[in-house]
Structure 1
Amino acid sequence: MRILILGGTSFVGRAVVDDALRRGAEVTLFSRGRTGTELFPGVPRLIGDRDTGDYAALHGRGWDAVVDVSGYVPRHVGQAMAALGDRVGRYLFISSHAVYLRMGVGPGSDEDTPRRPPVRDTEELDEDTYGPCKVACEDDVVARYGSRATIVRLGKVAGPHDVQSGLTYWVRRAARGGRVALPGSPEQPVQVVDSRDAARLVGQLLLDDRAGAFHAVGPAEPTTMAGLISTCARVAGSQVEVVPVPAEAVSPFFPLTRPESLWPTQQRSPARARAAGLPATPLAVTVADVLAWDRERGEPPLPHELSASQEAELLAQA
């Protein structure tokens, strides 16, 4: 199978490329050529830029499938589709659970959950626009490719090469042991999907030429924030005491934490994706791999984290 990947040198895209190559696919990368230049030697690279609309390198070439990891606003997707036309068999768009309405949704929601109204008049992405822009992208892909369109809606993704805080923060913090400040409730449900599982779902959907929308959520078994932190400590060989602290003292969206009103967004159903080939890597395996990778890279500062002094102050007030 000949697969074009728009992006592919960062986190999720990198995992998709790894999986495609493992399956023996002929992979071509399309990116700006600024990051990950040392990755995937021998894989053809086409240079372009979604921000400037430079998709000229795609003209006149065809692939069995395209995986769009880099489309965030309708202009990105529209330009890519215009350049590719009908010279691709299937267009798989990487979307997000941010497309869904946040309120009025119960635990176990599936891919037919109502989405937020699409937004097309901005490219400024924030909490209010990111999901609606993804909705517009999804709609455009389906309108253009119909039964040849596939949508993979990612939950929170975790794994090696994740430069965001997410699971990495809790892996690193639990490894240090002791009293761990948790902004929020220990009972909060939490879903993280291993990036390699998400990539394997993408590969299987392409192999099966399957249309539709699919949740990429994990882990293998439902867990809570307390359970996740305890798993991180067990893998690292440390001992922890999880201490709840007021969420408003830090941020309502501290790594992996959510207000109680949004707990159902961390309980989405993986049933359709599991039936289509989404693996279920145990959380402990993902944690072990993140721990090893983070230590190997020297544990650089994370975008959102509590310093030792900040955490000590919160714990003193608990």
Structure 2
Amino acid sequence: MRVLVLGGTWFLGRAVVVEALRRGHDVTTFNRGKTGQDVPGAQVVRGDRSRHGDLAAAVAAGPFDVVVDPSGYVPVDVAAAAHALAARVGRYVFVSTVDAYEDWPHAPITERSPLHECPPDVAWGSLPYGHLKAGCERALAAAWPGELVVVRPGVLLGVREPKGRLPWWLRRMERGGRVLAPGEPERRLQPVDVRDAAAFVVDLAEGRADGPVNVVAPQGHTTMRRLLQACAAVVERNAELVWLPDDALVAAGVREWTELPMWRPAPGTWAVDATRARAAGLVCRPVTQTVADTWRWMKSGQQVAEHWRTAEHGIDPAKEGELLRSWLGEVRPGPGR
């Protein structure tokens, strides 16, 4: 099978390329080459999808059986790719996001839940990421004449993670001491290892199932406690988890999702239906394996191009310490004490 991956050097895109090559497929990547992380074995075509004329180079490298698009988030750019590739590709697998749902993270979600309103001809602007992804889905529905599969991942973790959610927790555990653990310890989380998500995307590219489909782990796959305990165990430091409830964190003005990565008390955050993905073959490895492999990669010294959101993640140590002392009823010694 001949596969074209748009933006195949980033996190999920790279994992898709690696998996497709492992299965013996002929893979071409189309990207700007700014990360310096091309995958050995894949044919490389350089271009910027936001410059629509660059797509001619990808078209010339075809024909392809399928295009996998993990990098599209501007509707007009996605529509341009669809128009350019329509005569040279049979199947389009588009990676959207659960953030495209209008009710996420405030209510439980299924594939039938409504998407955000966003026109399919938006070029740019102040619309949030999830709205733009919804607009991309509409643009493809209007422009793509062949088979279209939409996948909507939730949180992806694992080796080479650019946003730094799991790496931040691992580095925090490495510092040891008392660690502010957020919210309800038994809160059920639904992260998916990027390798498992990539294997599932390649399954879809091979035509084994259709979308739309939510790429999330089943509820009960792990909890916040199990995730943080796995981080503490793998770094082999003396880290003590001190749990602060949601209301205390909200009252203290802790930013959801970023200051304490993956913490958000909204009831729908981790209430995404995974039934279709499981039925279609998504298999999720234990979170302990994801944590261990990510830590091993971090200790190896390998680098990835930083995501623009990396700096958003993590609470300032001074703020964390103050919150812990306040919660535990401790008083910081003043001058002369």
Both structures adopt the same fold (TM-score exceeding 0.5): yes
Contact 2:2–2:25 at 8 Å: present in 1 too?
yes
Amino acid at match of 1:137: C
Contact 1:190–1:225 at 8 Å: present in 2 too?
yes
Q: Distance in 2 between matches of 1:105 and 1:305?
A: 23
Contact 1:189–1:225 at 8 Å: present in 2 too?
yes
2:249 to 246, 249, 258: 246
Gaps of 5+ in 2: 328-337
Q: Distance in 1 between matches of 2:144 and 2:291?
A: 38
Gaps of 5+ in 1: none
After superposition, the C-alpha distances for 1:62-105 in whole angstroms (9 at most, x for unaligned) are: 10000011110111111111211221111000100011122696
Matched, 1:214 2:213: yes
**TM (normalized to structure 1)?**
0.89
Aligned residues: 312
1:119-198 residue pairs with structure 2 within 5 A? 119=119, 120-121=121-122, 123-124=124-125, 129-145=128-144, 148-198=147-197
Contact 1:190–1:223 at 8 Å: present in 2 too?
yes
User: 2:56 matched to which residue of 1?
Assistant: 56
User: 1:85 matched to which residue of 2?
Assistant: 86
Q: Distance in 1 between matches of 2:218 and 2:242?
A: 21
After superposition, the C-alpha distances for 1:243-295 in whole angstroms (9 at most, x for unaligned) are: 3152443312221111x3x2323121212111112111100000001111122
The 3 A distance-change label for structure 1 pair 30 and 147 is closer
Amino acid at match of 2:324: L
Q: Distance in 2 between matches of 1:94 and 1:75?
A: 16
Deviation larger for 75-84 or 308-317: 308-317
Contact 1:194–1:219 at 8 Å: present in 2 too?
no
Contact 1:180–1:241 at 8 Å: present in 2 too?
yes
What SS does structure 2 have at the residue aligned with 1:59?
helix
**CA positional deviation for 1:225:** 2.2
Q: Distance in 2 between matches of 1:184 and 1:275?
A: 31
**CA positional deviation for 1:12:** 0.7
Which has the greater radius of gyration?
2
Matched, 1:282 2:286: yes
Matched, 1:256 2:255: no
**CA positional deviation for 1:209:** 4.9
Contact 1:190–1:222 at 8 Å: present in 2 too?
yes
What SS does structure 2 have at the residue aligned with 1:289?
helix
Q: Distance in 2 between matches of 1:299 and 1:311?
A: 27
Contact 1:6–1:31 at 8 Å: present in 2 too?
yes
Aligned CA RMSD, in angstroms, stands at 2.5
Contact 1:230–1:240 at 8 Å: present in 2 too?
no
Contact 2:218–2:274 at 8 Å: present in 1 too?
no
Matched, 1:110 2:110: yes
What SS does structure 2 have at the residue aligned with 1:110?
coil
What SS does structure 1 have at the residue aligned with 2:267?
helix
1:260-271 residue pairs with structure 2 within 5 A? 260=265, 262-271=266-275
User: 1:7 matched to which residue of 2?
Assistant: 7
2:301 to 289, 297, 301: 297
The 3 A distance-change label for structure 1 pair 313 and 299 is farther
Amino acid at match of 1:317: S
The 3 A distance-change label for structure 1 pair 316 and 299 is farther
Amino acid at match of 1:18: V
The 3 A distance-change label for structure 1 pair 298 and 308 is farther
The 3 A distance-change label for structure 1 pair 211 and 181 is same
**TM (normalized to structure 2)?**
0.84
User: 1:204 matched to which residue of 2?
Assistant: 203
1:230-241 residue pairs with structure 2 within 5 A? 230-238=229-237, 239-241=239-241
User: 2:324 matched to which residue of 1?
Assistant: 315
Contact 1:102–1:265 at 8 Å: present in 2 too?
no
After superposition, the C-alpha distances for 1:148-177 in whole angstroms (9 at most, x for unaligned) are: 000110101101111212122222223443
